[in-house]
Amino acid sequence: MRLSIDHRTTYRFSAPQARLVQMLRLTPPDTHDQTVAHWKINVDRDAHMRHGRDGWGNRVTMLYVNGPVTSIEIAVEGEVVTSHSDGVLHGAGEPLAPAVFLRATEATLPDPAITAWAQGIGGDAQPLAALHAINTALHERSRVDLKRPETPLAAGAAFGEPSVTPRDLAHIFAVAARSLSIPARYVSGYSAAAFLGRHAPAPHSWAEAHVDGLGWVGFDPCTGRCPEEDYVRVAVALDAAGAAPVAGSRLGVGEEDLDVDVTVSRQG
């Protein structure tokens, strides 16, 4: 399948900024299951960009902009060719051992309610069966809110909410899997399945868990299924902060307003 992606991030500042430094995790890797046909990052003003990788192995672009800056738009346009994989990741560079992804963060602290829930669903099953059962159950119990989250929630707090974002679901899944001693991580990327060609206020997110003898397997609690050829995988980390598409700092006073628009469409 060929997927076309248009992702625009616009910052507006209430006062001119002297300097911006941003880390962009906006470029997908080539794996056996996805090939980047073309990909371009555009900025609507003079800027310096330097390409590299972060500690998780993600492709990153460091963006440096000198002021005065009152607004900036970062636009991504590209096409990615994907293939069917049953959700199993093939051919990705893995600089870290799976056991690293048993670690908790502030957003994915162990939670008694999630642990009890996960044990009740998958505690007696083999790891792959347990993960599928958790993914299905999490999808069935959750009402998904596709609006851009304003206030980040830790997994334990999100678990008790009546509606949750894709980011929340990925965090909850990771905590549930880790409670069963299964390494799990957060994934940011794009999905035609989740948004069906509609505009979205943020990139999509899901989770991956490591199964001995099989490798990393993707799970999307938003759909209750494994991510397939209508997904483009971009970055991974222990939680959303580590895989954020845009993160950085600014030198200047005042407030900022953020607007994000994402469109993913199937080309064939």
Number of domains in the chain: 2
Same domain, 111 and 56: no
Same domain, 65 and 163: no
pLDDT exceeding 90 applies to what percent of the chain? 84
Q: What is the pLDDT of residue 97?
A: 97
Mean per-residue pLDDT of the chain: 93
**Rounded to two decimals, what is the model's pTM?**
0.94
**Helix orientation angle between 166-179 and 112-122, rounded to the nearest 10 degrees:** 70
Q: What is the pLDDT of residue 144?
A: 87
User: Within the chain, which residues score under 70 in pLDDT?
Assistant: 148-150, 194-201, 268
Q: What is the CATH number of the domain that holds 203?
A: 3.10.620.30
Same domain, 48 and 108: no
Q: What is the pLDDT of residue 195?
A: 60
Same domain, 106 and 187: yes
Q: What is the pLDDT of residue 72?
A: 95
Same domain, 165 and 122: yes
Q: What is the pLDDT of residue 201?
A: 65
Q: What is the pLDDT of residue 19?
A: 95
Same domain, 32 and 153: no
Q: What is the pLDDT of residue 198?
A: 57
Same domain, 147 and 69: no
Q: What is the pLDDT of residue 202?
A: 77
Give the residue numbers spanning the domain of 168: 84-243
Same domain, 254 and 129: no
Q: What is the CATH number of the domain that holds 8?
A: 2.60.40.2250
Same domain, 107 and 234: yes
Same domain, 234 and 259: no
Same domain, 151 and 203: yes
Q: What is the pLDDT of residue 149?
A: 61
Same domain, 12 and 41: yes
Q: What is the pLDDT of residue 123?
A: 85
Q: What is the pLDDT of residue 268?
A: 62
